[in-house]
Amino acid sequence: MRSGRITEVESYVGEEDLACHASRGRTPRTEVLYGEPGTTYVYLIYGMYHCLNFVTEVSGFPAAVLIRSLEPLEGQSAMVEARGTENSKQLTTGPGKLTQALGITRALNYVDATQSSALFILDDNYAVIDSDIVATTRIGVEYAGACALYPWRYYLQSSPYISKR
């Protein structure tokens, strides 16, 4: 069992969001985004890394949240082995890093995370303070024009497990 506390995410919302993969409508790849909330969307990026998302809105409206960083909790030794580094700050502080650390690949795309034992989310009752949440622009979406300015990246200011400040 490998687990971590989510510390950084980004939202990708609707066909009007030019950074969202659904901005060009339904395709074989984006069909999952139009499905049930709680479904995983895992895709390969730059031919080498995977990105983990969860579909968030009602069926028919394409939207998802990209998980960008975790604070490692359980299974750190397995993460160290998968990542090839013992630096705990380097295990899960980035969307490609955390999928590698947790062994998440496209085999876990289109999975119902509300029913799966392989990949799921729990509430650990961590007391998030509203003022600790930073809202800023998303990373790596410069091509999206005005959409790149939306403050749809969120992270915990107090957490050391963040990809970039």
Binding site for DNA (CB under 7 A): 10, 12, 19-21, 24-25, 27-30, 41, 43-49, 51, 53, 64, 66, 83, 85, 90, 94-98, 106, 138-141, 143, 163
Shortest distance in whole angstroms from residue 140 CB to DNA: 2
Q: Which is nearer to DNA, 15 or 156 (CB)?
A: 15
Pairing of strands 133-136, 63-72: unpaired
Which residue number, 2 or 97, has a Cβ lying nearer to DNA? 97
Distance in angstroms (rounded) separating the CA atoms of residues 34 and 37 = 9
**53 DSSP β-pair partners:** 41, 66
CB of 26 to DNA, least distance (A): 8
Q: Strand, helix or coil at 3?
A: coil
Closest to DNA by CB, 59 or 129: 59
* Contact (CB, 8 A) for 71 and 161: yes
End-to-end distance of the chain based on CA atoms, in angstroms? 29
C-beta of 102 vs 127, nearer to DNA: 102
| C-beta closer to DNA: residue 12 or 125 | 12
Distance of closest approach, residue 121 Cβ to DNA, in angstroms: 16
Minimum CB separation from DNA for residue 127, in Å? Answer: 27
Residue 130 CA to residue 56 CA, distance in Å, equals 21
Q: How far is CA 49 from CA 66, 99, 101, 132, 148, in A?
A: 14, 8, 11, 29, 22
Minimum gap (Å) between residue 131 Cβ and DNA: 26
